[in-house]
């Protein structure tokens, strides 16, 4: 007996909120991508807990694929961020205004 | 409360604390270090919840590869360009209210989920069982993921090949 399943879901909800705050409130592209990572991590916690709750491996295999997709997202995202930094010289999303 | 239950709450406190520290720091290197701590905590949680394979992968991929990639990017760029504008409290207030609303709804839903009150059993899925399940039931998804990784590799190579002066020329043109 570890803990009620609802406590795992509550932990995932709190971590997801922190990630959403990081992605929305920070004005730095790197912090925004990190916020997305935190949210993905919260989803992984919920999936692993659900996998244990119902005794099925479906949730764990989902987390495996989420890890692969997160790694892809980060590598492409960081490459785009570095390219944008070279062009605009800043990480602030407000600096990308060459269409004005 | 059993020993495992006690461990669960300690690990949960570590995860929430280090993540909260990470999202409020100004220095990006500190943010990454706190997030590495948070991902280590998540790996311990996965181990506790019976997923040792995922715990190892979390440490290797998240804490090892992704966070080091972030560190590389942070060290590649100029430090003085990291000045970040923190919006005034008046602008942050609606975001905080909506975030609190979301958190309240999520916690209520976590309480109300069918079967949520049941205590979690102490089970472990060995890496062999997980591998047999994944390659037996989801072999096609594995192929899709490999294609996705290949596409990402090619995209990143293409982006990285563009020189800075090229980018500047495009900007002036």
Mean pLDDT, all residues of chain B: 85
Chain B residues touching A25 at Cβ < 8 A: 87, 92, 95
The SS3 assignment for B119 reads strand
Give the position of tokens 């839903």.
Answer: B109
> Span B103-114, mean pLDDT?
85
The SS3 assignment for B115 reads coil
Q: What is the C-alpha separation between B149 and A70, in angstroms, rounded? A: 10
Number of domains comprising chain A: 1
> Span B96-110, mean pLDDT?
88
Residue A43 covered by a domain: no
Residue A80 covered by a domain: yes
**Smallest Cα–Cα separation from B82: which of B34, B27, B31?**
B27
**Smallest Cα–Cα separation from B124: which of B68, B57, B172, B54?**
B54
CATH number of the structural domain B1-82 = 1.20.120.1200
pLDDT band of residue B173 (cuts 50, 70, 90) is very low
Tell me the count of A-B CB pairs closer than 8 A.
243
Residue A16 covered by a domain: no
**A-interface mutation test, from B152, B161, B168, most A Cβ less than 10 A away:** B152
Residue A10 covered by a domain: no
In tens, the pLDDT along B138-166 reads: 999 999 999 999 999 999 998 888 765 55
**Residue of chain A whose alpha carbon sits nearest to that of B89:** A25
The string of DSSP letters for A49-91 reads HHHHHTT-SHHHHHHHHHHHHHHHHHHHHHHHHHHHHHHHS-S
Q: What is the C-alpha separation between A90 and A87, in angstroms, rounded? A: 8
CA distances B42 to A46, B56, B147, Å, are: 11, 11, 28
Q: What is the C-alpha separation between A88 and B61, in angstroms, rounded? A: 30
Report CB contact under 8 Å: A87, B167: yes
Question: What was the pLDDT predicted at A95?
Answer: 77
pLDDT at B13 over 90: yes
Which residues, including other chains, have CB under 8 Å from residue B82's CB and lie 6 or more apart? A28, A91, B28
pLDDT band of residue B168 (cuts 50, 70, 90) is low
Residue A85 covered by a domain: yes
Residue spans per domain, chain B = 1-82, 138-173
pLDDT at B77 over 90: no
A34, B31 Cβ separation under 8 angstroms: yes
pLDDT at B79 over 90: no
**Count of CB atoms situated within 10 Å of the CB of B167:** 15
User: Which two tokens mark A24?
Assistant: 């929305």
In tens, the pLDDT along B18-61 reads: 999 998 888 888 999 999 999 999 999 999 998 999 999 999 99
**Residue of chain B whose alpha carbon sits nearest to that of A96:** B171
The SS3 assignment for B27 reads coil
Chain B residues touching A17 at Cβ < 8 A: 99, 102-103, 106
Report CB contact under 8 Å: A38, B102: no
**A-interface mutation test, from B5, B54, B158, most A Cβ less than 10 A away:** B54
B107, A16 Cβ separation under 8 angstroms: no
Report CB contact under 8 Å: A78, B49: no
Residue A8 covered by a domain: no
- For A82, the domain range is 28-35+49-94
Residue A87 covered by a domain: yes
- β-bridge partners, B119: A4
Q: What is the C-alpha separation between B160 and B146, in angstroms, rounded? A: 21
**B-interface mutation test, from A44, A60, A83, most B Cβ less than 10 A away:** A60
Chain B residues touching A44 at Cβ < 8 A: 42, 46, 54, 58
Q: How far is A84 from chain B (nearest CA, A)?
A: 9
The string of DSSP letters for B37-58 reads HHHHHHHHHHHHTT-HHHHHHI
Q: How far is A81 from chain B (nearest CA, A)?
A: 9
- DSSP for residue B86: P
Give the position of tokens 């997160």.
Answer: A70
pLDDT band of residue A13 (cuts 50, 70, 90) is very high
**A-interface mutation test, from B40, B113, B116, B139, most A Cβ less than 10 A away:** B116
Chain B residues touching A80 at Cβ < 8 A: 159
pLDDT at B171 over 80: no
In tens, the pLDDT along A25-79 reads: 888 888 899 999 999 999 999 999 999 988 889 999 999 999 999 999 999 999 9
Chain A residues touching B168 at Cβ < 8 A: 87
Residue B118: its H or E element = none
């Amino acid at each position: 007996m570890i803990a009620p399943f609802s406590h795992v879901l509550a932990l995932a909800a709190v971590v997801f909120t922190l990630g959403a705050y990081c992605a929305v409130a920070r004005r730095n592209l790197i912090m925004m991508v990190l916020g997305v990572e935190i949210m993905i991590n919260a989803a992984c916690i919920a999936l692993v807990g659900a996998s244990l709750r119902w005794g099925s491996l479906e949730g764990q295999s989902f987390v495996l694929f989420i890890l692969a997709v997160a790694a892809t997202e980060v590598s492409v995202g960081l490459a785009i961020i570095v390219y944008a930094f070279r062009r605009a010289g800043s990480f602030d999303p407000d600096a990308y205004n060459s269409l004005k | 409360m059993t020993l495992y239950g006690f461990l669960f709450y300690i690990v949960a406190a570590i995860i929430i604390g280090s993540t909260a520290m990470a999202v409020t720091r100004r220095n990006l290197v500190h943010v990454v270090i706190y997030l590495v701590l948070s991902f280590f905590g998540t790996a311990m949680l996965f181990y506790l919840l019976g997923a040792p394979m995922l715990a190892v992968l979390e440490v290797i991929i998240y804490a090892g590869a992704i966070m080091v990639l972030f560190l590389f990017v942070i060290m590649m760029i100029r430090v003085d360009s990291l000045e970040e504008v923190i919006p005034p409290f008046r602008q942050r207030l609606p975001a905080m209210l909506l975030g609190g609303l979301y958190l309240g709804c999520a916690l209520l839903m976590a309480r109300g989920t069918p079967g949520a009150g049941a205590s979690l059993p102490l089970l472990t899925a060995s890496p062999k069982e997980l591998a047999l399940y994944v390659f037996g039931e989801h072999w096609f998804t594995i192929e899709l993921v490999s294609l996705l990784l290949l596409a990402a590799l090619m995209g990143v190579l293409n982006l990285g090949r563009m020189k800075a002066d090229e980018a500047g020329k495009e900007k002036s043109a």
